[in-house]
Amino acid sequence: MTQPPVAFTPPIGVDGAPLLVLGPSLGTSTILWEDVVPALAAHYRVTAWDLPGHGGAKPATEPFTVGEVADAVAAGIGEFDGPALYAGVSFGGAVGLELLLRHPGLVSGAATVCSSPRFGDPANWTDRAAQVRTQGTGSLIVGAAQRWFAPGSIERRPVLAGRLLHSLRDADDASYALCCEALAQYDVTARLGEIEVPVLAVFGEHDEVSPEAHASTIAAGVRDGRTARIDGASHLAPAEFPDEVARALLDFFGGAR
């Protein structure tokens, strides 16, 4: 099987500094992180990547697992000078945990942002995959807006919120469905204790997809874990409160290097 297609942005930031890799949530793209990047790029070389069929990545043509996406990301990291630091949102956070499990030594510190060791009932993901295959990702926009953004977030940041919802609409339907089916199979809860590098589990105050309990499970399960709360945020904390997310990551990675 060929690796699922992902696409990296060119690194920006401080020459010779540690590489910091940023991962997306399902249905978004690298624009999720664009207001956080300037603060991070003042200290690191920063790159972000897109899921199959999202943003700049080619569509997927066959099924894959979250672990296999992590393998593709690991191959991309290998093109840069490593090891890397890593932060990912939701699906991207799941990829981060799989990176730590499947590629020990490649990542020296990781943050899961609004993410989980398991994303609920697998049937919900297979149902969503079926919906997208018949109705397209546009059928998800209303529900996504409700899950992604806390009350008032869209009104505070209407342009970015609109661009993120457009990224969902523009995602390749088949690739999105395959991502859903990958999440249906994903569960690393029992393996968290194998992760030795420092892990920060960031959660949004209003996030119902990956609530505080999920962040606490990650932090308690790994050997060196902690949590951080983003007040007022829901599931897309880097878009809703970029300054606060940047501060949490800089505080954490300053100790993880």
Would 173 be classed as within a structural domain? yes
Would 135 be classed as within a structural domain? yes
Would 32 be classed as within a structural domain? yes
Would 138 be classed as within a structural domain? yes
pLDDT digits (tens, 9 = 90+) for 44-62: 999 999 999 999 999 999 9
Do the Cβ atoms of 223 and 85 come closer than 8 Å?
A: no
Could you tell me the pTM of the whole model?
0.96
Range of the domain at 93: 7-256
**pLDDT in the model for residue 188:** 98
Would 2 be classed as within a structural domain? no
Would 152 be classed as within a structural domain? yes
Which CATH number do you get for residue 214? Answer: 3.40.50.1820
Would 151 be classed as within a structural domain? yes
Would 1 be classed as within a structural domain? no
Query: What total of structural domains would you count in the chain?
Result: 1
Give me the chain's average pLDDT, please.
96
**pLDDT in the model for residue 106:** 96
Quote the tokens at residue 19. 């590489």
pLDDT digits (tens, 9 = 90+) for 60-112: 999 999 999 999 999 999 998 778 999 999 999 999 999 999 999 999 999 99
Mean pLDDT of 239-244: 97
